[in-house]
A = this chain, B = another copy of it.
Amino acid sequence: MPLTAALEEVGAGIDRAFDALLPVPEDARARLYEAMRYAAIGGGKRIRPLLVVAACDLFKVDRARAMRVALAVECIHVYSLIHDDLPSMDDDDLRRGKLTLHRAFEESTAILAGDSLHALAFEILADEATHEDPFVRADLVVELARAAGPAGMAGGQMMDLKAGEMGLDLPAVTRLQQLKTGALIGWCVEAGAIMGRAPVDGRTGLRGYARDVGLAFQIADDLIDHEGQEEKAGKRVGKDRAAGKQTFVSLLGPERARRQADLLVEQAIAHLHGFGEDAELLRAVARFAVERDH
């Protein structure tokens, strides 16, 4: 499947899945569900769901099941965006081209909507509809909790909050990004191997792929923040510089950063050499990570 078709199919599938997951109840929780729908439906590149689907393709995992795993990781991603945008965190007004959730609703509702999506991710994964083998479900949960928690994404966000005052060097920025965005991206790829019950020692190449794509993706994000237009990015740009934060671009300069991202994509693709045609979509996602303009 070519990338454009895959992006479209996965994006539409995730929207439909959120729509089914979040029917608005007829009680005082209505606003909470409306808030989750506002944040989750109809926006974003759905890169993480696409990575899940592409990694599941490697192991010929049933598409409907792959989409459940993809939905779970998007629940985590959307929750993290909601909380990161809060006034006490990055204080952003714009996300995916519209008002951030706490600006469109209330801050309290935004916090609860994030918390709710966080819980839903684990409910989806552990449900038997995701895989008939409970070992697989428990494994997905352990690894996602690690990737999202203080040893992963939440820990990386903590580092990021401290980054402005600490003046990080390149290894420190790399480590920060490996936790903040790399851990979850790594999980997306690992999830394909778990769903396909691939032997653990056959996953080394996939881990290398995920690490390189995760960093390339982050460098591309930094470049968009540096050069980009708010309209295309759908969020405030130039904010890292304004906050005095070191990024790959501030440390390497835009040209070297761009070359580094391209190199990482080549490396990522090289990690897939054993997988042949089944890895076509993963290769396309790696290229897309750095070629996008938003």
Contact = CB atoms under 8 A, between A and B. Distances in A.
A114 B32 CA distance: 19
A118 B118 contact: yes
Contacts of A144: 122
B106 A88 contact: yes
A248 B27 CA distance: 19
Contacts of A31: 158, 162
Contacts of A116: 149-150, 154-155
Interface string A26-46: 011101110010000000000
A96 interface: no
Classify the interface of chain A: helix, strand, loop or mixed: helix
A28 B116 CA distance: 27
A123 interface: yes
B128 A158 contact: no
User: In the complex, which range does the number of interface residues on chain A fall in?
Assistant: 35 or more
A107 interface: yes
B112 A157 contact: yes
A108 B32 contact: no
A159 B27 contact: yes
Residue of A28, A31, A128 with most chain B CB atoms under a 10 A cut-off: A28
A143 to B, nearest CB: 9
B86 A111 contact: yes
A154 B119 contact: yes
A162 B123 contact: no
A244 to B, nearest CB: 15
A139 B127 CA distance: 8
Nearest to A89: B108
A177 interface: no
Contacts of A146: 119, 123
Given A83-B115, A111-B83, A159 B28 contact: yes
A28 B158 contact: yes
B161 A145 contact: no
A283 interface: no
Shortest Cβ-Cβ A-B pairs, 3 listed = A119-B149, A123-B145, A88-B107
Given A32-B150, A115-B118, A118-B119, 16 more contacts: A28-B176, A31-B162, A32-B154, A83-B112, A111-B111, A114-B115, A116-B149, A119-B149, A119-B154, A120-B145, A123-B145, A125-B141, A126-B138, A126-B141, A134-B137, A138-B141
